[in-house]
């Protein structure tokens, strides 16, 4: 790791630790939301950025995990130590099933994952006796761990930050491992990887399961943050926004999905305050990014730095 990167990590960590004292209650709540949805975007980017698979069903894992945790806590008074892992387990188990979609490629993969996501969304709305329908599951209690209850937004912010740092560390090790290199090899040339003795379906299926685990973890954190879960959490626009966040920030990076989450959530909160068709604005953002900034914000910054270096060398 270069000295510049180490300095950047320290600066970002210091900023995250001190943010609640700068941003206030609203800023802390918004940043917690950015962390959670950034984790969801990071899970989608494991497939998009490293394996080249455009998934539109990650809201399903996110929602199933959130619903499981909420229902167990609210209706059956199951403690957090059991309800939260159960939520992650249910979301990941769904990933084991939906992961069979990696046998398809291109537009067929997109359509299959889109259909799978709609199945979960439909169940959330139609099985009202269990999911609550439009009303959802309300009054999710604050998480209690080891006798300590995270009752304030400040406490929950630091808890989510700690979980996020652990996820980012493991994710970094994963994408730098031989497994991560194999995924990028499959993305750039699947036939070549087959000729070298790799099994692309096996690698992609494993990546899909890991991705669903991360999305499920984000869903559990969301349930405790929002204290309310309804079928909207399984909708197509949540899956689409997760991918959009990764694209806006920069795919195949760790910070990119979180930068994208900050931009998208900040823009959504601002635009929705005076414009009802705020989803149309998200569509325009997607078109602009794909057309003029396919590498996202991180890619723009890299190009700017490279130009500065080139100019300094010529000077």
Report the CATH number at residue 245.
1.10.3470
| Domain annotation covers residue 232 | yes
Number of domains observed in the structure of the chain: 1
pLDDT, residue 43, reads 98
Indicate the DSSP class of residue 243: H
pLDDT beyond 80 at 274: no
Which secondary structure element, helix H or strand E, spans residue 44, and what is its range? helix 3-51
pLDDT, residue 306, reads 77
| Domain annotation covers residue 72 | yes
What's the rounded Cα separation, in Å, for the pair 219 and 43? 11
For 136-159, how does the pLDDT look when each residue is reduced to its tens digit (9 = 90+)?
Answer: 999 999 999 888 999 999 999 999
Band the pLDDT of 4: cuts 50, 70, 90: confident
- Residue 137 φ/ψ, nearest 5 degrees: -115, 120
Band the pLDDT of 231: cuts 50, 70, 90: very high
pTM of the complete model: 0.94
| Domain annotation covers residue 109 | yes
- Residue 129 φ/ψ, nearest 5 degrees: -65, -25
pLDDT beyond 80 at 313: no
- Nearest alpha-carbon partner for 66 in 115, 110, 124: 124
Angle at 219 between CA 213 and CA 222, to 5 degrees: 150
| Domain annotation covers residue 1 | no
For 24-36, how does the pLDDT look when each residue is reduced to its tens digit (9 = 90+)?
Answer: 999 999 999 999 9
| Domain annotation covers residue 15 | no
pLDDT, residue 315, reads 59
| Domain annotation covers residue 21 | no
For 68-109, how does the pLDDT look when each residue is reduced to its tens digit (9 = 90+)?
Answer: 999 999 999 999 999 999 999 999 999 999 999 999 999 999
295-301: average pLDDT: 87
* 70 within 8 A of 223, measured Cβ to Cβ: yes
Angle at 216 between CA 162 and CA 111, to 5 degrees: 135
* 35 within 8 A of 69, measured Cβ to Cβ: no
Question: Residue 229's beta-bridge partner residues?
Answer: 137
Structure tokens at 265: 């959530």
Between 206 and 310, the higher pLDDT residue: 206
- Nearest alpha-carbon partner for 301 in 268, 264, 253: 253
For 189-226, how does the pLDDT look when each residue is reduced to its tens digit (9 = 90+)?
Answer: 999 999 999 999 999 999 999 999 999 999 999 999 99
pLDDT beyond 80 at 278: no
pLDDT, residue 38, reads 97
Q: Which residue has the tokens 């199933």?
A: 64
Indicate the DSSP class of residue 235: S
| Domain annotation covers residue 2 | no
pLDDT, residue 213, reads 98
pLDDT beyond 90 at 288: no
pLDDT beyond 80 at 277: no
What's the rounded Cα separation, in Å, for the pair 232 and 225? 16
- Nearest alpha-carbon partner for 228 in 76, 79, 67: 67
| Domain annotation covers residue 273 | yes
* 119 within 8 A of 231, measured Cβ to Cβ: no
Indicate the DSSP class of residue 102: G
pLDDT, residue 63, reads 98
Which secondary structure element, helix H or strand E, spans residue 306, and what is its range? helix 296-314
pLDDT beyond 70 at 1: no
Q: Per mean pLDDT, which range of 8-17, 65-74, 271-280 is the poorest?
A: 271-280
pLDDT over 70 percentage in the chain: 96
Mean pLDDT rounded to a whole number for the chain:
92
pLDDT, residue 13, reads 95
Helix (H, G, I), strand (E, B) or coil at 228: strand
pLDDT beyond 90 at 127: yes
pLDDT beyond 80 at 309: no
214-240: average pLDDT: 96
Structure tokens at 168: 């980012």
Q: Find the domain containing 209 and state its range.
A: 29-314
173-188: average pLDDT: 96
């Amino acid at each position: 790791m270069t000295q510049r990167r180490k300095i950047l990590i320290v600066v970002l960590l210091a900023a995250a630790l001190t943010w609640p004292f700068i941003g206030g209650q609203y800023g802390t709540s918004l940043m917690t939301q950015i962390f959670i949805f950034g984790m969801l975007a990071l899970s989608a980017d494991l497939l998009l950025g490293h394996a080249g698979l455009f998934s539109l069903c990650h809201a399903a894992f996110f929602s199933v995990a959130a619903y499981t945790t909420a229902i167990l806590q609210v209706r059956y008074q199951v403690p957090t130590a059991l309800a939260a892992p159960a939520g992650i387990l249910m979301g990941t188990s769904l990933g084991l099933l939906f992961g069979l979609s990696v046998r398809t490629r291109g537009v067929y993969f997109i359509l299959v994952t889109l259909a799978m996501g709609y199945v979960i969304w439909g169940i959330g709305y139609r099985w009202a006796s269990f999911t609550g329908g439009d009303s959802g599951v309300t009054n999710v209690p604050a998480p209690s761990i080891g006798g300590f209850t995270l009752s304030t937004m400040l406490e929950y912010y630091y808890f989510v930050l700690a979980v996020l740092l652990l996820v980012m560390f493991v994710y970094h090790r994963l994408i730098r491992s031989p497994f991560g290199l194999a995924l990028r090899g499959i993305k750039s040339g699947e036939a070549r990887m087959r000729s070298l003795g790799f099994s692309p379906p096996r690698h992609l299926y494993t990546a899909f399961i890991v991705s669903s685990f991360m999305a499920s973890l984000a869903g559990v954190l969301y349930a405790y943050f929002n204290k309310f879960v309804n079928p909207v959490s399984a909708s197509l626009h949540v899956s689409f926004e997760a991918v959009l966040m990764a694209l806006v920030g920069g795919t195949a990076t760790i910070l990119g999905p979180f930068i994208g989450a900050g931009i998208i959530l900040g823009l959504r909160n601002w635009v929705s305050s005076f414009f009802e068709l705020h989803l149309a604005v998200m569509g325009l953002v997607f078109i602009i990014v794909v057309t003029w900034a396919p590498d996202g914000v991180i890619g723009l910054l890299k190009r700017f730095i490279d130009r500065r270096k080139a100019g300094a060398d010529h000077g």
